[in-house]
Amino acid sequence: MTGPLSVLRAARPGRWQAQSSAGVGLVLTAPALILVGGLVAYPLTSLVIDTLGPEGRAALVSVLTAGASRQALLRTLWVSFEVTALAVVLGAFMAWALCTVRSRLWRVVLWIAVLAPFWMSVVVKNYAFVLILRQGGPLNRLLVTLGLMDSQQSLLYTEGSVIVGMLYAMLPYAVLPLFATFSGVDRSLISAAETLGAGRARAITSVVLPLAARGIVAAATLVYVICLGFYVTPVVLGGPGTPFVATMIGSYVFEYFDMPGAKAFALVILLAALAAVVAGQALSRLLPSAGDR
């Protein structure tokens, strides 16, 4: 029996396939490949080639041996580590609260607190901390009233103020991955641990943390890599007394006009970020995931 449907099927030259050909896929991804090649691959390749050249090697040795540049590098690595540790710890508490809090009002308040740094520009966030931490600011007056500091002292332009500003900016980058990780943990396992005699705190540390270990390492790696490239916060809150690698690179480019030195510094911090990513990946392979039972 023939009908309109059979006629259409016979007239159709070919059937639609869910998977496109390799040529179509290449054409569709060509714009992204061009952008990645022009904005990522080419600059990084040029940076490595220029730094490993004769002039670049001399600048690299100077960067690693000069006292000011070495101090800036060590400060960047250490402060980034401190901010990462604080962000992961505080972010874990906030992420767990977001997963377990039952009050809708408190959940909304927590989400606003987590996402608020995303809603403000870098300049607004940093100058808000300038008003809070400066001499005569509200926090300074409170500490003077409590007798914890002298009225002539200022919390601004210190390494601590840089840590506070970076921590506020990086908390969402720790909370969001940890929230996704904790959401994948079966909370009935906590009840089972409590049934077997474990307290609430022990049940969380012995059940949740091992299963969320990979997510914690991933969040820490993400936060640490981003912290290595901070520029505005050290400049605004730290001042000239607490230079970071990014601020030193800016000085090499705009003040000293030393492009080989800037490239050498950039390569060093790039290798530090790459080492953090590799270490995080290696550690993650040794840890259980939230899906393991």
Q: In terms of pLDDT, which residue wins out, 152 or 89? A: 89
pTM reported for the whole predicted model: 0.84
Query: What is the CATH superfamily name and number for domain 46-285?
Result: MetI-like (1.10.3720.10)
Mean pLDDT value across the chain: 84
Instruction: Render pLDDT for 250-264 as a digit per residue (tens, 0 to 9).
Output: 888 888 888 888 888
Residues contacting 260, CB < 8 A, separation 6+: 50, 51, 55, 56, 58, 59
How far lies 13's CA from each of 21, 112, 151, 249, in Å? 17, 56, 85, 61
For 241, other C-beta atoms within 10 Å of its C-beta total: 8
Domain range list for the chain: 46-285
The pLDDT assigned to 8 comes to 45
Is 33's pLDDT higher than 70? yes
pLDDT of residue 100: 85
Distances (CA, A) of 229 to 150, 183, 222: 34, 30, 12
pLDDT, one tens digit per residue, over 123-142 is 889 898 888 888 888 888 88
Given this model, what pLDDT does residue 278 score? 94
